[in-house]
Homo-oligomer: A and B are copies of this chain.
């Protein structure tokens, strides 16, 4: 299975009064990982909206918070593709500091028609790249 890495730096904006990264903000880091993986495969999300009239929307997240991330940390988001169907993709993602896994998330996104907001079949040229990344 192929894996995509993306660096993340922790700034004040990401932390809370507990001195660690606020729990909702891990989802921001994971989204950056998915967005950059799509961009790396050649799919800008603006272009998908304009040309294919689709958007990807998050349907389900299962996330474990194992160790706290802290201010100034240099982290890495690892993104891989787990299951996929005609209309959805499940990403398996980790947030790491060096080799220590701080958080692990499974994120299911569905492909939606950008006008009706109903599930739409993932265009063949994207599905192909996904299949390729799963191997």
> Which residues does A use to contact B, with CB under 8 Å?
9, 11-13, 15-20, 22-25, 27-28, 31-32, 35, 44-46, 55, 57-65, 68, 70-72, 117
Which of A17, A57, A68 neighbours the largest number of chain B CB atoms within 10 Å of its CB? A17
Report the minimal beta-carbon distance from A40 to chain B, rounded to whole angstroms: 13
Report the minimal beta-carbon distance from A22 to chain B, rounded to whole angstroms: 6
| CB within 8 Å for A31 and B18 given contacts A62-B62, A63-B61, A71-B45 | no
Report the minimal beta-carbon distance from A89 to chain B, rounded to whole angstroms: 15
CB neighbours of A12 from chain B (8 A): 16-18, 22, 31, 35
Q: What are 23 A-B contacts with C-beta separation under 8 Å?
A: A12-B35, A13-B16, A13-B22, A13-B31, A13-B32, A15-B16, A16-B17, A17-B19, A17-B71, A18-B55, A18-B57, A23-B27, A24-B27, A24-B28, A27-B27, A46-B72, A57-B65, A60-B62, A60-B64, A61-B61, A61-B62, A61-B65, A62-B63
Interface of A is mostly: mixed
CB neighbours of A72 from chain B (8 A): 44-46
